[in-house]
Amino acid sequence: MHQRIQILFLSFMVVLGIIILRLSYWQVIRTDELASAAQDQYLVRDVAPALRGSIVTADGYPIVINQPVFALGAYTPSLVVSPTQIVEQIMPLLDFTIDDPVVASDPAKLPLALEELKSNLRSTMLERITRGGYAVLVRNLSVAEKATIETLSIPGLTFDPTFVRQYPEASMSAQLTGFVGRDDVGKSVGYFGLEGFYDRELSGRERIEKQEKDAFGNPLLIGDFQLLPGRRGRDLKLFLERGVQYLVEQSLQEALAKYGAVSGEVIVMDPSTGGILAMASLPSYEPTHFHLYDSSLYKNPAVANTYEPGSTFKVLVMAAAFNEEVIQETDQCDICGGPYPIGKYTIKTWNNEYHPLATPQEILVHSDNVGMVWTQQKLGGEKLLEYLKNFGLGQKTGIDLQEEVVSPLRTRWGDIDYATASFGQGIAVTSIQMLSAVGAIANKGVLMEPHLVQSVIGDNNVVIPPKSRGEVISSETSKRITNLMIQAVEQGEAQWAAPKGYTVAGKTGTAQIAVSGHYDAEKTIASFVGFAPASNPRFVMLVKLREPQSSQWGSETAAPLWFSIAKKLLLHYNIPPDKK
């Protein structure tokens, strides 16, 4: 009997010890985890999304803003009617639209697509309500749709405010602004262009509120309350002007139709600050419905695509030679009488016409490839590379767009590589690199970093000052090469289209497109780069047309387009004629 009592006592003590150890485990080792889990049951977390910052032009017009929308939710414990009744009451009040323009414009496909859209939404709403708890039924309700649904006075429905990005100018500047999508966890994120580059500044900070509530969802007066204040995203103010951007984009659109080009770009920059006054590229897309377009259109080709610049590149090589004082205006080319052999290759002019003893001015006016080889040989290969790097080639310009790329300069150079580079072939640049480099000539030899945003507006306004990347050529060299570029315009084949009464410095370019390791004689990139007025440049501009069908030559396509836009810009900026 005594032994049984001992065994019973020992068993009791073992069980008691286990209970004590278990309680110690819960209360000591896992106390923080359990306290947090308990707190989650009565501490309600409410997150309000931060309003994203706007993007406005220099003249105050918004090109990216927020449009208020609402997420329709249902808290099932509070519902007093069946899920089916709720869905059937809501469905007729929703505005259904088909985004795909192909389907929307087809009378046969449109009704079927709308019916499919309605059926899918009806099924989704029913499925979510029947799960119980809280369910989001419809996203992106407009203000009008919300007001209509509220008239139903259905208990248990909620409207959570949020926003979507709106682009008042539609596709205008789409490849400049980028768009807002969602990442892998559903968070709004800016992609491409300004939305991508300045995503952190534009995003703002969510407002997070934590409060203890009872089982019925009512706040506890003596309960815990935590608040992380939100902050609206900062606004971006651009150098770009709405009127200038519009006239540039309209001119480019008309030119694509007129010349039958596959695509085109126009960039206008203030050479003294590096501020981008306009940047247009076509074809484009609508950022609101970006998912309907090929993803290849998302990137801005002016900064994301490289090309061989052709004859526009000649002004940079000529400027380097003048700056090194290896040639003078009165020097004469002693190899310009005919084709020039380099090893197994032969350098020819674009039209097989040759100009013996041509001066530097005549070399640029006639766009003489052999003359440029002569210029490069006077300069020397190592000096050529030094100046190419100083002009910003082989490195990013620093423009504030997310997708800028760079084509590195080759590491091994031969005589033929130096020769072809002198007239813009065998070397790749982006449009913004080419514009910036010529902008240095317009800016008395000083290279500026191109920039779209002039200030970030928020709690503290931040003005982004112009940034110099250094002096590439002297002010005197800038004047000398500018005079040659003026003659290239006034004696060039497109002189008939130049603005009357103004001095314009510029250069045409026609570069064959490399396909599968060789140049396609039928496919070219026609371009023109220059600045005006040449005496005191207000803008430097690059125009580029890919595969024009009416003529492959830059003098017959890109140059007339450049002069047409320049006339409008001179009028817009109220610049008086400077030609005597």
**Least confident range of 123-137, 230-244, 554-568:** 123-137
Residue 143 located in a structural domain: yes
Residues in CB range of 86: below 8 A, 6 or more apart: 74, 79, 129, 154, 157
Residue 160 and residue 254 share a domain: no
Residue of higher predicted confidence among 111 and 534: 534
Q: What is the pLDDT of residues 150-178, one digit of tens each?
A: 888 888 888 888 888 888 876 668 899 99
Looking up residue 551, the CATH number of its domain turns out to be 3.40.710.10
Please give the pLDDT value at position 479: 96
Residue 135 and residue 274 share a domain: no
Please give the pLDDT value at position 34: 54
Token readout for 262 is: 């596959």
Please give the pLDDT value at position 274: 97
Please give the pLDDT value at position 172: 66
Please state whether the peptide bond connecting residue 111 to the residue before it is cis, i.e. omega within 30 degrees of 0: no
Residue 251 and residue 133 share a domain: no
Residue 118 located in a structural domain: yes
Residue 139, pLDDT > 80, answer yes
Q: What is the pLDDT of residues 546-562, one digit of tens each?
A: 999 988 888 899 999 99
Q: What is the pLDDT of residues 1-48, one digit of tens each?
A: 566 676 666 777 777 777 777 666 666 666 665 555 555 555 555 666
According to DSSP, residue 497 is labeled: G
Please give the pLDDT value at position 160: 84
Residue 201 located in a structural domain: no
Residue 221, pLDDT > 60, answer no
Please give the pLDDT value at position 137: 85
Residue 385 located in a structural domain: yes
Residue 280 and residue 134 share a domain: no
Q: What is the pLDDT of residues 297-344, one digit of tens each?
A: 999 999 999 999 999 999 999 999 999 999 999 999 999 999 999 989
Residue 395 and residue 253 share a domain: yes
**Least confident range of 11-15, 31-35, 53-57, 197-201:** 31-35
Looking up residue 75, the CATH number of its domain turns out to be 3.30.70
Residue 396, pLDDT > 90, answer yes
Please give the pLDDT value at position 230: 65
> Count of domains in the chain?
2
Token readout for 478 is: 């800038």
Residue 252 and residue 161 share a domain: no
Cα torsion through 21, 22, 23, 28, rounded to 10: 80
Domain hosting residue 128, numbered range: 68-166
Q: How much of the chain exceeds pLDDT 90, in percent?
A: 51
Among candidates 302, 275, 265, which has minimal Cα distance to 402?
302
Residue 469 and residue 556 share a domain: yes
* End-of-domain residue from the set 166, 193, 212: 166
The mean pLDDT of 44-61, rounded to a whole number, is: 80
Q: Where does 25-105 have alpha helices with state H?
A: 31-42, 83-90, 101-104
Please give the pLDDT value at position 71: 86
pTM here is 0.84
Residue of higher predicted confidence among 288 and 262: 262
Residue 580 located in a structural domain: no
Residue 376, pLDDT > 90, answer yes
Residue 472, pLDDT > 80, answer yes
Residue 189 located in a structural domain: no
The mean pLDDT of 446-464, rounded to a whole number, is: 93
Please give the pLDDT value at position 181: 84
* End-of-domain residue from the set 166, 186, 217: 166
Residue 143 and residue 266 share a domain: no
* End-of-domain residue from the set 139, 166, 193: 166
Q: How far is CA 54 from CA 66, 134, 164, 168, 310, in A?
A: 7, 32, 12, 12, 39
How sure is the predictor about 211, in pLDDT bands with cuts at 50, 70 and 90? low
Please give the pLDDT value at position 32: 62
Residue of higher predicted confidence among 77 and 30: 77
Residue 253 and residue 149 share a domain: no
Contact 175, 399 (CB under 8 A): no
Residue 395 and residue 250 share a domain: yes
Residue 246 and residue 162 share a domain: no
Residue 481 located in a structural domain: yes
Residue 42 located in a structural domain: no
Residue 246 and residue 160 share a domain: no
